[in-house]
Structure 1
Amino acid sequence: MDRKLKALIIGSTGGIGRELVKELLQSNQWGEVHVLVRRELEAWKNLSQEQKNKLVIHKVDGLEILRDQTKLPSFQGLSAVFCTLGAEQKDGKENFIKVDKEFPLLTADLAIKNNIPQYHIVTSQMSDKSSMFLYLKVKGEVENELSQKGFQYLGIYRPGLLLQREQPRLIERFFSYVPFIKKVDVQNIAVAMRLQSENYIESSHNSTQYFENDDIIKISNQKI
């Protein structure tokens, strides 16, 4: 029997987020897909009527609203939160930490406040809170702090180089041709996140799972 699960996606207009929105809307398991966005994507205007009915768009001036969650609607009754945020370091250290650490942790607080049992986040391969590299250090710090929040289920996805974005970053275009670097399509990440959420939606124990690049590909290949 089809379930009608409900999700909130933070980062829904990014490369992975766009694919995740499509993946959940196409699944009969999900009845509502909430997104917090500045603007509605053109692609969403071309959805089928059934998918439009499932997509709940909350327009906000920016994710700074997460700092004052009294301005947000109630998300009680949702099944899972998915965080696919990611900034480029070229935009500055302060902005990178805000997008890749502060906002994901505030989103976790929002989930806990609304009794949402699952939290799924995309970080990076080689994330390490002790790393000398800012990017990997911040990703590792987020993973560590999230693991202490007490979610019934926490899924942490550590992909390698991202492929098949609509707007690939320069480094992704360059290294996509290097054979020994681990890579994964953004669609694979979206599929893996959906499948893991559905598989553990009835979990009654606090558990954290980490998925490396090869794990993500393996799980996504189980799509039915």
Structure 2
Amino acid sequence: MRAVIIGATGAVGKVLVRQLLCDERYQFVEIFVRNPWDIQHPKLICHVVDFEEMDKWYHLIEGDVAFSCLGTTKKQAGGKANQWHIDYDYVIQFAKYCKAQSVQTFVLVSSKGADYRSKVFYLYLKGRIEQAIAQLHFNRTIIIRPSSLIRPNSSRTGEKLGVKILTFFNRLGMFRSYRPVAVSKVADCIRNDAVKPVAYTLIVIENDEI
């Protein structure tokens, strides 16, 4: 199995790459990143690219399964328009090129509550991404919807506070479907599901299934 990844430097992506490199079912792991990767491994192929010029490097995409772990926040992106450009435009363009390059399975890391009908911008954005990916009709599409992520050594104050609040309510038996989930569990789930011999062409993994 050959894996292709964008978003390899993100919270889920970093863990996923390390897991794939240790997984004998994957013969090579190809990542597309903006800056040089800090790990060297015989199975790892690292391409430093400009996502604004995807048409110049899409021919390098070669794999059986593609993982999209790419995503940013409105604050990091500098506004809704830039967040949409990174989260939607980059991911959908990459997915289209994966389809053109005969990648069979596409795995998308989305979000709990993603819905293209939502009035909440972030959930609407994620829902539109899911919708567009599904319409590409890969042989198999896997969408995972984690809730708040538990990241090792996270510097995001708001995120850490949110995890603590949700964990408190979970202990009281409330908001169980929104329980925080470790990035390692998300990565482990999609890594294994990508190689399962199932007949379904579209698989949606909700937070409580991770």
Coordinate RMSD, CA, aligned: 1.6
Report if aligned partners of 1:16, 1:165 keep a CA contact under 8 Å in 2: no
Give 5+ residue unaligned stretches, structure 2. Answer: 170-177
Deviation of the 1:40 alpha carbon: 2.4
SS in 1 for 2:116: coil
Report if aligned partners of 1:13, 1:37 keep a CA contact under 8 Å in 2: yes
Deviation of the 1:41 alpha carbon: 3.3
SS in 2 for 1:176: helix
- What does residue 73 of structure 1 align with? 59
SS in 2 for 1:119: strand
- What does residue 184 of structure 1 align with? 181
- Return the letter of the residue paired with 1:84: C
- What does residue 14 of structure 1 align with? 10
- What does residue 112 of structure 1 align with? 99
The TM-score normalised by the length of structure 2 is 0.89
- Out of 17, 29, 42, the position equivalent to 1:53 is 42
Relative to structure 1, is the Cα distance of residues 111 and 166 closer, same or farther in structure 2, using a 3 angstrom cutoff? farther
The TM-score normalised by the length of structure 1 is 0.83
- Report whether the alignment pairs 1:198 with 2:195: yes
Query: How many residues are aligned here?
Result: 198
Report if aligned partners of 2:118, 2:124 keep a CA contact under 8 Å in 1: yes
- What does residue 174 of structure 2 align with? none
1:125-159 Cα offsets, whole Å, 9 max, x none, are: 01110111110001001111111111111000100
- What does residue 51 of structure 2 align with? 63
Deviation of the 1:206 alpha carbon: 6.3
Give 5+ residue unaligned stretches, structure 1. Answer: 46-51, 217-224
1:79-102 Cα offsets, whole Å, 9 max, x none, are: 100000111111211111012111
SS in 2 for 1:103: helix
Tell me, in whole angstroms, the C-alpha distance in 2 between the residues paired with 1:72 and 1:176. 37
Deviation of the 1:19 alpha carbon: 0.4
* Percent identity of equivalent pairs: 28
